[in-house]
Homo-oligomer: A and B are copies of this chain.
Amino acid sequence: MNINNTFKDMLKEKGYKLTTQRRAVLDVLQNHIGDHLTTEEIYQYVKLQCPEIGLATVYRTVQLLEELKIIDRLTFDDGCNRYELGTFGEDHHHHHLICDFCGQIFEVEEDLMDAIEIQVEKKYKFQVTNHKVKFYGICHQCHAKKHPTS
């Protein structure tokens, strides 16, 4: 279950080639676990190790990695796509908490969606294979600031 060992095989399976650019983009994502990088941010990081890379290649690679389900695409409604390394072996995105006040993003480790998905599948006869869940609200720090004495 190691991405590095199977990356080339995963590409070959679809007739794609392993290039230094593709490796470099994946490396950036692997070195920024917990972040939610935009394509532009990935481009900035990857240029440090691979200065000749073009922005278009980063856009293409990031789409490819998403297609291979190696990375997950996220949107936090700021007009651009963000990416994070997928939880390899799990076939669904994990959830995010978005604070309406400070904008901070928190990761939810638990999935907790199985029971809901079973109900949805039964009622709507829709076979669920993935989901994207975002919770909006007030984070612990912002809540403390608004209610200092409690």
A-to-B contact residues, CB < 8 Å: 73, 75, 77, 95, 97, 99-100, 106, 108, 110, 112-113, 115-117, 119-120, 123-140, 143
Partner of A143, one of B108, B127, B138: B127
Min CB–CB distance A27 → chain B (angstroms): 26
Beyond the given A112-B119, A125-B143, A130-B135, please list 5 additional residue pairs across the A-B interface where CB-CB is below 8 A. Answer: A73-B77, A97-B124, A110-B123, A112-B120, A127-B138
The 20 sampled A-B contact pairs (Cβ below 8 Å) are A75-B77, A95-B120, A97-B124, A97-B128, A99-B126, A100-B129, A108-B120, A108-B124, A112-B116, A115-B115, A116-B116, A124-B140, A126-B137, A126-B138, A126-B139, A127-B137, A131-B136, A132-B133, A132-B134, A132-B136
Min CB–CB distance A47 → chain B (angstroms): 26
The answer to whether A131 and B140 touch (CB under 8 A), given A75-B75, A126-B106, is no
Min CB–CB distance A98 → chain B (angstroms): 9
Partner of A137, one of B110, B130, B136: B130
User: A120 CA to B131 CA in the complex, in Å?
Assistant: 17
Min CB–CB distance A101 → chain B (angstroms): 11
* B residues in contact with A110, CB < 8 Å: 119-120, 123
